[in-house]
Structure 1
Amino acid sequence: MPDASITTVPVPLGDRAYEIYVGRGLLQEAGQRIAALGARAAAIVTDEHVGPLYADILARSLQQHGLRTSVVTVPAGEATKCYAFLETVCDAVLEARIERGDLVVALGGGVVGDLAGFAAAVVRRGVRFVQVPTTLLSQVDSSVGGKTGINSRHGKNLVGAFHQPSLVLADTALLDTLPLREMRAGYAEVVKYGLIDDAAFFAWCEKNWQGVFAGGPERNEAVAQSCRAKAAVVVRDEREDGDRALLNLGHTFGHALERITHYNSARLVHGEGVAIGLCLAFRFSASLGLCPVADAERVEAHLSAAGLPTRLNQVAGGCGTVEDLLDAMAQDKKVKGGALTFILASGIGKSFIAPGISVDSVRAFLKDENSA
């Protein structure tokens, strides 16, 4: 009998189709589900924070189901998403004699998932990989959809590949040990799905966010619904040629803030940048007359209630000048022909792609925001 407490979210991508499992206790039974993929060996990639907590549990589960297992541990933090640690992971995977039919298993948050996934995409020109995300942010966003990569000195996620996982195991019990700051950061991505095209889900978040944090059934529902939303977009637009760009709501601003703070998590983590970016996107939309001011205020009120930053002046150590922000945005992956593309909104649950936004209008808006 299937476990009724586990939700299955399919990602139907033809020969690259896979399933996302969401629920408590999935780590302990990971070996059975991963072994069903038919591999003989697995290289677990984790970081120095997550590894001591969960790597042995996962390795034992894999070994009990017949998989030869090794563990690769990298430093925690956004700075690890770089060329040097890509080389480290690739060499370790090769040293572990991982073949094309074998697996790389990403055990960690978004950094580990992106790094391990990119290594899997390029080692032997592509080996399979499994995501075992351990943060709320990675469970609802980065583990789903096949985007992998590392950062460059020119910007975030500018070097990478689309490489779909073979399986995602989102064990929501792992979030019980997540620091509150990281939980809040991941929650910004949950809210994003409501703001993109699901006003009812945003209203659900306003009512149920405390249960998501507390670990009740609301947490499983939030993760599962976020995965459904992302999977639906990925199936329509796997390689971000069209409306998958909507998933970047708030990210043009957020990525610029991360670049300005040099990916220093003491100053700003990704989800905090997204939270500020979501508020900026809605206030910018309102300033252009596209969105009711009341909706922008509602977005800010909810994210603030959840303990997230919503203003530029809340970035630790400051976020530079308006020109610094504009320069950082110029490296955004959605720039075309030098013109900025934003994801804007005509209201909550009504986002759209807005290409060719004039730099002058962005500059004027940011000057107002910087002085607020």
Structure 2
Amino acid sequence: MFECFRNQDYPKSRIEWIIVDDGTDKIQDMVKEADIPQIKYYEVDDKMPLGAKRNFMHQQVQGDIIVYMDDDDYYPPERISHAVERLTANPEAMCAGSSEIYIYFKGMNKMIQCGPYGPNHATAGTFAFRKELIQQTKYEDHAALAEERAFLKDYTVPFVQLDPMKTILVFSHEHNTFDKRKMFQQQQDPRYFKESGKVVNNFIRRKNEKTIKKFFMDDIDNMLTFYEPGRPTMKPDVLKQIKEIEDKREQMKQDMIEKQKENGPIIMNTPEGQMQLSNKQVVEIIKRQQNEIEQLKKGGLETIEQQKNEIEQMKKDREEMDRLSHLMKHKLIQLHNTTVSLRKENEILQQENTNRQQIPSTPSSFVEPTGSVPVNKSEPVLNA
């Protein structure tokens, strides 16, 4: 991270680097050894959830634009300058970030593209925003992951997208809160998770970055092998919130299955119109939604927000299903009652026609009553 900062092409005289250290293994000695005058180091004794940590950091900033840089990701030399340029060129935007990011899996030698998910979406590790924004919003103090949604006011904050090639490259390593290799074990939605033709050299491309590339490609896993404080088990708050989201997803799945049993087929709205889903399609959609949570766990901190979006969409789909089911029931009742009414009217007309045919044409003729009484067949009338 120190080298990534030194390589930034934005004028160092205009940068302050705020580091908030709440870890059990403090890095104050490393900060002193790095001897970077722009660093403002804050040592915190008690462990802080990520949301509270970001809010604390915001209280220390002096500059006009805040740019995030996570300590276990690679940031290109133009990370800061590109973000500043995009915000300057788009004065209406309060925040910038990249909804499209790339993750490199070293053991598999695969580069995976995640996203983009939407024009107002980005993961916090790619954020850059105006200082005025922290006067209007803040993170939820208890949030240990998926903190972006609340900060961006449910994605209503004016936003501009960054070029992912100038923003971040994520490396999958052993101490990620979630082992990203599991993402390959189940089928992923190709809209948001697909293999890319890009390679590491497309990101780490400058000659003076050889040591940085070696660190991410070779050194980091060796260094983390015996580094206990960095293990996922040392992040209980993150693991707890991941479990809560998984439980909520499972409950949503069961609720949808039960609702389907009660209301029959599920109708889904698509750009091409309404489509009735078979049980197999519903199961596949639910499985796909379950699988998508795997890609939302970049260190437990990157893209869980998509999970919440999917849950909201499931709620909307369920509400739409209920509405259509009720409407269909109402229409069937109306159709039945109309049919009954028409049948009665037809029988009355037929009976009247028969009676007319039985009356003689001569005025003096007399017809003896037969004693029979016309009977109208009746059918039940349903009420919606």
TM-score, normalised by the number of residues in structure 1: 0.35
Higher strand share: 1
TM-score, normalised by the number of residues in structure 2: 0.34
